[in-house]
Amino acid sequence: MTTPTFTEIKADKVSCAVGDITMLPPTTFTVRPGENVAITGDNGCGKTTFLRVLTGNLIPTQGVVTRDGTPIDERDGATRRVIAPLIGPVAGFRDMTLADHLILIDQTWGGDREGAGARIADILGKFDILKFGNRFLSELSSGQRQLAELAMVLLRPSGLLVLDEPEQRLDPGRRELLAEVLAERAKQGGAVVWVCHDQALAESSVTRIEHFPQGSRKRSTQRPAPEPSAGPAKSTGPAQGGKKKGSGGQPGRKGNR
């Protein structure tokens, strides 16, 4: 299966805010084929938010992400043929085995029927989970499930893999296996962007580390002084400086994956 290509995917001064909370401070980032980029940073600094913006799942409050000059949008098939994300848990079918899920993904993304078995065996072998092909997803341990979800996203053709903490729940040996698979992908001309909390793993395997500064700062440091407590039975309401209804939602959210 050919790998869809691009020259450059660029996030230009993207930022996200909801209410007075900065989910992602202004960030500029470029990735090109052959690069294997780990994003590191403290909890809450905006890494997952950035990945969602980069994949076109979340519209930034400011700035834009482009693929060779064209704005990206996950609802656009052209974007989805290039970018394969694994951000958050994958929903599965209760009565379909891991191999069934992989056949569905392979055929959805245009694989030829004759070659499906070999491609699926290959990706399961890469992650050392070939023996679990006939299991239901609910019959896998959390680490095995993580490997299964990685197999699902790597099976489909893509030019850019975007993975959120793919090393989570994996033992040290399987973390190294993951790092090898991602490095191999980049060597073959693909690009990988992944959030990683294992600094040593990232340093040993990637072509570049982008460290996000401690973020999620309040946009305004000036907050109104709290109202004196009026007791539990009384409500202050928005007119008295309370939180506006709906302000905790996500900006530009385009639906669940």
Ligand X SMILES: Nc1ncnc2c1ncn2[C@@H]1O[C@H](COP(=O)(O)OP(=O)(O)OP(=O)(O)O)[C@@H](O)[C@H]1O
Contact residues for ligand X, defined by CB under 6 A: 18, 21, 23, 41, 43-49, 216, 248, 250
Which CB atom, from 41 or from 166, has the smaller least distance to ligand X?
A: 41
Minimal distance, residue 66 CB to ligand X, in Å: 21
CB of 83 to ligand X, least distance (A): 18
- For the bound state, the minimum distance from the C-beta of residue 122 to ligand X, rounded and expressed in Å, comes to 31
78 membership: H or E segment, kind and range: helix 77-82
Give the gyration radius of the chain's Cα atoms: 21
SS3 letters across 61-122: CEEEEEECCEECCCCCHHHHHHEEEECCCCCCCCCCEHHHHHHHHHHHCCCCHHHHHHHHHH
CA distance 219 to 217: 6
CB nearer ligand X, residue 29 or residue 132: 29
- Distance in angstroms between the alpha carbons of the first and the last residue of the chain: 24
Contact 56, 79 (CB under 8 A): yes
Maximum alpha-carbon separation in the chain: 71
| Nearer CB in complex with ligand X: 22/123 | 22
The least distance separating ligand X from the CB of residue 12, rounded to whole angstroms, comes to 19
Least spacing, CB of residue 166 vs ligand X, in Å: 13
Q: Would you say 44 or 242 has its CB closer to ligand X?
A: 44
**Closer CB to ligand X, 51 or 155, in the complex:** 51
